[in-house]
Amino acid sequence: MVEFGEQLRRAREGKGMTQQSLAEQLYVTRQSVSRWECGVSQTKGY
């Protein structure tokens, strides 16, 4: 099973997006996106 971070990275790269551009669209920091992709931090399930 593919982890969330790996799925996020593949989807982001598939769209030709940088971590920074994704972060701007989600109103989070680039560091947050990096942490999600590395599995260091989890998103909150609101």
This prediction has a pTM of: 0.83
CB 19 within 8 A of CB 30: yes
Given the structure tokens 């942490």, which residue do they identify? 35
Q: What DSSP letter does each residue of 5-45 carry, written as one string? A: HHHHHHHHHHTT--HHHHHHHHTS-HHHHHHHHHTSS----
Distances 31 to 3, 18, 23, 43 between C-alpha atoms, Å: 18, 12, 8, 13
1-46 pLDDT, tens digit each = 789 999 999 999 999 999 999 999 999 999 999 999 999 876 665 5
Q: What is the pLDDT of residue 46?
A: 56
Q: What is the pLDDT of residue 1?
A: 79
Q: What is the pLDDT of residue 38?
A: 95
Tokens at residue 32, please? 């947050």
